Amino acid sequence: MANITNTPESAGSNLMARALREAFYAGLVALGLFVLFVGLKTDQNILNELVLVQRWGLLAVFVAIAAVGRFLSVAFIRPYLAERKASKASAGVKEPGFVTRNFSMIAVAVLLVYPPIMVAIFGFQGSLKWVDNFGIQILIYVMLAWGLNIVVGLAGLLDLGYVAFYAVGAYSYALLSSYFGLSFWVLLPMAGIFAALWGMILGFPVLRLKGDYLAIVTLAFGEIIRLVLINWTAVTKGTFGISGIAKASVFGIWSFDVSASNNFAKVFGLPMSSAYYKIFLFYLILALCLLTAFVTIRLRRMPIGRAWEALREDEIACRSLGINTVTTKLTAFATGAMFGGFAGSFFAVRQGFVSPESFVFLESAIILAIVVLGGMGSLIGIAVAATLMIGGTELLREMEFLKHIFGPDFTPELYRMLIFGLAMIIVMVWKPRGFVGSREPTAFLRERKNVSGSFTKEGHG
């Protein structure tokens, strides 16, 4: 079909005529495409005979959608977009506003006051949902994605089995706390160390692989860990999972166990509520996230961080400059895995229950999708992507009003993967480098100029 977008529109009538013509063609094409698929349907009648059902009404709807869509697109949407583009180009580069410049500071401040505000609005019991399902859930994924960002975004190593390290962290806490009674504050660093160790164990044999091959092996590793957790029933209780995992305490001073004498609510003479623990967990994961961000930002300015990014850009050039690429890749793997382990132990303490169900491949895929959508290497972009992805899927559970439209059987959260996929396609078409495609340099002589995404590479090793 003729698709002339660059012709300057001289008159409105001309445009309308063209829009109508293209709408007609689009309708014609739709008719041709759908007449046999939609217009006619083969079915069996009660005598088991094959009959042809005619569905002209449905076909008309399909054709109408195509024609009207084309008309709207040509007549209104395209001129509007072109106009906006032109006005943007003429306006030149805008000075970023106050919010843009201080985005991360404002975000941290908002997160710090988030639980009290929720309590103030919804009361203790009502705030549980907002602090736990939205706040904590999103922050766990932010932390996981920031951890994976070190491996994928900075070092350019495609890791499809990141959830394995999350599992290692969660199970190290669950097992060591239930078998040996160690506290969360001892086990949090240990979970990180164990995960980092597993990162190295995986890294040694596989880091000679590149690109697709590395991705496949990491994918397999993720599955191996999950299958070990399922089948090593003597230790992990298999698919039953480990329940009754001990809660974390405020550095051992105040506990959240109801029976304990130093229970938080009792000590302060507050009414009993499970909200205190959730709020404590919220601040805990927020602190862990900030730690991850702080370490990532600092590491990027260290020689090792620059070597990771150089590795993503060109591995052979790295070697010609005397950089040991094997140890550099291993440190990236281990550092990323360590943050996965921290997040895992936090996950175990929050749920009080872990089972292999939580560590399926889909989790790895979601974390990777967040990193890619956010813009590889960009902490802010990734945080925004995690909020949209995880917050969005949680919001679907709140869409009760949709039941009034689609009937009582409609459960919107079942459509989350469909919406997730659609959203990814749209974002990737609209912003192929993710929300934040540009890269901030780690050092500068005169002025810090962001590097456009068209120069950075995705990595291949």
Partner 1 sequence: MAGTNTMTKDPILKVDHLSMRFGGLMAINDLSFEAYRGDITALIGPNGAGKTTVFNCITGFYKPTMGMITMRQKAGKEYLLERMSDFEVNRDAKVARTFQNIRLFSGLTVLENLLVAQHNKLMLASGYTVLGLLGFPAYKRAAAQSIEQAKYWLDKANLIDRADDPAGDLPYGAQRRLEIARAMCTGPEFLCLDEPAAGLNPRESLALNELLRSIRKDTGTSILLIEHDMSVVMEISDHVVVLEYGQKISDGNPDHVKNDPKVIAAYLGVEDDEVEEVIEQIEEIAEVAPGDTHK
Which tokens is 457 given? Answer: 């590479």
Q: Does 317 bind partner 1 (CB under 8 A)?
A: yes
In the numeric block, the tokens 């990777």 are attached to: 368
Sites for partner 1 among residues 329-368 (CB under 8 A): 331
Contact 314, 455 (CB under 8 A): no
Q: Does 432 bind partner 1 (CB under 8 A)?
A: no
Of 8, 57, 181, 322, the one binding partner 1 by CB under 8 A: 322
Cα–Cα distance for residue pair 200/331, rounded to 1 Å: 8
Q: Does 444 bind partner 1 (CB under 8 A)?
A: yes
Of 197, 295, 365, 399, the one binding partner 1 by CB under 8 A: 295
Of 325, 355, 364, 378, the one binding partner 1 by CB under 8 A: 325
How, if at all, do strands 50-54 and 242-243 pair? unpaired
Of 87, 90, 259, 320, the one binding partner 1 by CB under 8 A: 320
Cα–Cα distance for residue pair 104/272, rounded to 1 Å: 35
Q: Does 306 bind partner 1 (CB under 8 A)?
A: yes
CB of 453 to partner 1, least distance (A): 8
Cα–Cα distance for residue pair 139/251, rounded to 1 Å: 21
Q: Burial, 90: exposed, middle or buried (Cβ in 10 Å; 0-12, 13-18, 19+)?
A: exposed
CB of 213 to partner 1, least distance (A): 21
Which residues, at least 6 apart from 31, have a Cβ–Cβ distance to it below 8 Å? 59, 63
Contact 371, 384 (CB under 8 A): no
Whichever of 70 and 312 has its CB closer to partner 1, that residue is 312
Contact 365, 215 (CB under 8 A): no
Whichever of 154 and 174 has its CB closer to partner 1, that residue is 154
Which tokens is 182 given? Answer: 């160690």
Of 40, 314, 396, 402, the one binding partner 1 by CB under 8 A: 314
Sites for partner 1 among residues 198-217 (CB under 8 A): none
> Distances from the Cα of 423 to the Cαs of 20, 56, 431, in angstroms?
30, 32, 12
Of 167, 299, 334, 343, the one binding partner 1 by CB under 8 A: 299
Of 142, 217, 318, 384, the one binding partner 1 by CB under 8 A: 318
Sites for partner 1 among residues 161-180 (CB under 8 A): none
Of 236, 292, 345, 456, the one binding partner 1 by CB under 8 A: 456
Residues in the site for partner 1, rule: CB under 8 A? 295, 298-299, 302-304, 306-307, 309-310, 312-314, 316-325, 331, 439, 441-449, 451-452, 455-457
